[in-house]
Amino acid sequence: MVSIIQKFYGILVHGVGYLRSPFLFLIRLYWGWQFFVTGKDKLMNLDKTAEFFQGLSIPMPKLNAFMAGGAECFGGLLLLLGLGSRVVSIPLAGTMVVAYLTAHPASVKTILTDPDTFVTQAPFLFLLASLIILIFGPGKLSLDYAISKFWLNRIPSISPDS
């Protein structure tokens, strides 16, 4: 009986492994587009965004609105393409952490006592998507993967004997 369970589990793990790249691709497409749209909105309405940031007591609100909008807009496009995905997910995640700390500080303070409030805030899924791509990478359906395969096949290997 144990052998049957082990075999089934092995088949399950192997089969689900094929879903990793399509899953990461869908996350990158959806959340890359969402980042792009929200960032573009910030940049297109820079004065309004800076006013909102000023209301949150963010220093240099216009500069920070521009930086947040730029990170989201252009980072979202790069995420869509799967280009520099892990690198670009760092400022995207950082922007979401700042969003939590400035716009939703009460939900951060009660993360352990009232986690539902934390996970239902707008930045949560953006932050989660950024962290998934940072940790697991963009997957095989990305420019990062295609470029790495191209360059790895072009660079001669260096052996310790040469």
The pTM of this model reads 0.87
Judge whether 7 lies within some domain.
no
Q: How many residues does the chain have?
A: 162
Let me know if 108 is exposed, middle or buried by CB neighbors in 10 A (0-12, 13-18, 19+): middle
Q: How many domains does the chain have?
A: 1
Task: Give the three-state DSSP class for 49.
Answer: helix
Judge whether 59 lies within some domain.
yes
Judge whether 134 lies within some domain.
yes
What is the distance between the alpha carbons of residues 92 and 114, in angstroms, rounded to a whole number? 25
Token pair for residue 132?
């998934």
One digit per residue, the tens of pLDDT, for the chain of length 162 reads 889 999 999 999 999 999 999 999 999 999 999 999 999 999 999 999 999 999 999 999 999 999 999 999 999 999 999 999 999 999 999 999 999 999 999 999 999 999 999 999 999 999 999 999 999 999 999 999 999 888 877 655 544 443
Token pair for residue 44?
């297109």
What is the residue range of 110's domain? 21-143
> Between vectors from CA 125 to CA 92 and to CA 74, what angle results, nearest 5°?
30
Check: CB of residue 31 under 8 Å from CB of residue 79: yes
